[in-house]
Structure formats: C-alpha cells, structure tokens
Copies of this chain bind each other. A is one copy, B any other.
Amino acid sequence: MIYFNTDYMAGAHPKVMERLVQTNAEQTVGYGSDDYTARAKELVKQACGAPDARVYFLVGGTQTNATVIDGVLAHHEGVLAADSGHINVHESGAIEATGHKILTLPSYEGKVKAEDVRGFISNFYSDDTYEHMVAPGMLYISFPTEYGTLYTLSELEDLSGACHDAGIPLFIDGARLGYGLAAEGNDVTLEDIARLSDVFYIGGTKVGALFGEAVVITNPDLLKHPVPLIKQHGALMAKGRLLGVQFETLFTDGLYHEIARGVVQKAIRLKDAFVAAGYKVEVDSPTNQQFFRLPNEVVDRLKENVGFEMWGPRGEKESVVRFVTGWTTTDDEIDQLISYIK
C-alpha cells in the first residue's frame, strides 16, 4: 500500500527528528522563552526579510487561525474569506466559537478576487444599515489554497492593496506555504508574503515538522498582547522549545524550502503521469495537492493499492479525487502509482 491521502501522515523530517533527539535531555525554561526559540525566531525573520516582525510558534493550524483572527478582530467585525476557506468549512466552527462571523466571498478554485473584496467593502459601507451588520475587519486567504492553487504576485499585491485601502489587515494561512513558494511558475517569495500581509503563518506540520506553525506579525499595531492571547487559546506549549528546535532546524541551510521542493517535484511527476495516462485534471494545481476526475472503476481499482481521498461525493460515472505528496513520498512510490494507472 502506498499513501497519498495527505501530507501529515508521517512524523518529522529526519533532520528535525534528529535535532529533537539530540536536544531531548537538555533543560530549558518553558513557554518559548528558551534560546532555541529565540534563534528560530531570528532565522524566521531573516528568511522573511522582516527584521522587525514578531514571531510566535503555535502547535496546529486551526488553533493558529482562531488565535490570530480572534486577536485581530474587534467585537463587531468579521473575517472575509473564500467560502471554500478552511476556516469556513473544516474547523468545527472554531472562528465562530470566538464570537466572530465569517463573511464569505466567492471562491475561484480556492482563491478570492481583489475586486470582490473591494466590492464587498464598498457595498457594506454604502448600506444605510451597516451598523446592524458585521463589519469586514480583516481578509483571510490561504497560500496555497485548499485546492493547491496559488496567487500570483500581482494578485497578491492587488489583494493587499484592497485591504490596506480599506484599513483592514491581510492574514495569510500558510499551512502549506512551503509548497507554494516551491512551485514552478510561482513568482511570490517569502519576503513578498511578509511585505504584503499584516500577519501570516509558515506551516510546519505539513512541511517537515513534527508539528508547529510559525506566526509572523509584520504589522506592529496588531496583536499587541500575543502571549496571554495564545495561552488563553490553549495554544502556548509548556515545552515551547520543541517548536523552537524544529523551526531552527527547518530554517537552517534552507531545509524548509528543500523539503518543499522535493515534495512538489513528486507531485508534478504524479500529475504528469495522470495526464499522460489520459485522465482529467480537475484543478490545475502547481503544488503538492493534485485533483483529478477519474472514472469510478479506476477509483475502485486504485483503492486496492493506493491511499487517497475522495473530493466530494462519488459521482455517477466519475469522481473527483485528491492525491497529496509529502516528505516521505519517494520516487519509487510515484513509479509504483504510475504502474497502476498506465
């Protein structure tokens, strides 16, 4: 059996694991006040070209989204997001549980359009009853999106402009950020992400860490009391240095990007193989998530030897499926998969 279900099926990249083992018996102060965490923060800031940013490490994505969004929004504000956004679909109402509405925008293969953001905001304030409605207080986007797609630099600049013209911050969910940055054709750098957003996070869980997400706050006016906010959200790790050790490793000698490049290359081999075999690409993703529309008999046959996910309900004749590569995916596994679809 070979697995393409998702990118969090295995533990940590061997180098990350090795460092956790090496440092295991050391004693450090708790809650991220240790030297590993301090060095990791510096490395992350350097990688972002954002020396004045503030960096905090949290454990998982849903918790990070809820903590950041709750911390940024005022009481009467909601968060703009694609209706397909992870926060709107797959976080068990974690955002609403903090008291805030998700204001949905149309999703174009997971992406939102700056013109829709501008339109929403302009319609909102032109409505006489806007004080009885939930004000758009920030924009949430994911890069890559839940469909593996990417914003171009120009699109990102436009979105950033739409937010800043309206005086609201832009938050980028980078749970799979590495895979976006590593994608062929991508023209967005980590520095661009840092420069164009107000707060974003660099996902570790899905890109080589055992767990962990690095929140980078570039807007100095946001999230002025992050520690109690994170603690209150149950997201402050006692052994905070576990996160520091991991991100220090990932951001030393470009390991984070190296992992991502390898994973994306395998995803593209996989996509090319499906295309070569004559199957339909459902969403043209340049990252590590690939979506195909396969005949049901192919789906059923593959299921015997390969793990992958149905994407939506089974169709009458064809179904959409998702294949994801991760740091454990080998070229052998891709070859093996190719042998099944030829």
Segment from A146-154, A225-233, A254-262, A269-277 that makes contact with B? A225-233
Beta-carbon contacts under 8 Å, A1-22 to B: 3, 5-6, 8-12, 14, 17, 20-21
Residues of B within 8 A of A8 (CB): 30, 238-239
A315 contacts partner chain B, Cβ-Cβ < 8 Å: no
A59 contacts partner chain B, Cβ-Cβ < 8 Å: yes
Residues of B within 8 A of A123 (CB): 313
A242 contacts partner chain B, Cβ-Cβ < 8 Å: yes
Segment from A108-116, A124-132, A189-197, A290-298 that makes contact with B? A124-132
A94–B10 touching, CB < 8 Å: no
A234–B234 touching, CB < 8 Å: yes
B242–A210 touching, CB < 8 Å: yes
A24–B11 touching, CB < 8 Å: yes
Known contacts A27-B328, A239-B8; A132 and B21 CB within 8 A of each other: no
A183 contacts partner chain B, Cβ-Cβ < 8 Å: no
Residues of B within 8 A of A313 (CB): 123, 126
Residues of B within 8 A of A107 (CB): none
Known contacts A9-B29, A132-B231, A239-B210; A93 and B78 CB within 8 A of each other: yes
A228–B135 touching, CB < 8 Å: yes
- Please, how many angstroms separate the alpha-carbon atoms of A206 and B238 in the complex? 9
- Please, how many angstroms separate the alpha-carbon atoms of A21 and B22 in the complex? 12
B100–A93 touching, CB < 8 Å: yes
A28 contacts partner chain B, Cβ-Cβ < 8 Å: yes
Residues of B within 8 A of A135 (CB): 225, 228
* Least distance between A51 CB and chain B CB atoms (Å): 24
* Least distance between A39 CB and chain B CB atoms (Å): 17
Residues of B within 8 A of A66 (CB): 234
Segment from A40-48, A68-76, A157-165, A278-286 that makes contact with B? A68-76
Residues of B within 8 A of A21 (CB): 17, 21
Segment from A84-92, A166-174, A214-222, A334-342 that makes contact with B? A84-92
A74–B132 touching, CB < 8 Å: no
B131–A92 touching, CB < 8 Å: yes
- Please, how many angstroms separate the alpha-carbon atoms of A340 and B34 in the complex? 26
B11–A89 touching, CB < 8 Å: no
- List 19 other contacts, CB 8 Å, given A27-B307, A76-B92: A8-B239, A11-B239, A17-B21, A60-B236, A62-B231, A70-B75, A75-B228, A75-B229, A76-B93, A94-B231, A96-B96, A97-B233, A123-B313, A131-B231, A132-B228, A133-B228, A211-B237, A211-B239, A211-B242
Selected A-B contacts with CB under 8 Å, 29 pairs:
A3-B27, A6-B30, A8-B30, A9-B30, A9-B239, A10-B239, A11-B239, A11-B242, A59-B59, A60-B238, A61-B238, A62-B234, A74-B225, A76-B93, A91-B231, A92-B132, A93-B99, A93-B100, A94-B232, A94-B233, A101-B102, A123-B313, A126-B313, A132-B228, A134-B228, A135-B228, A205-B239, A211-B239, A234-B234
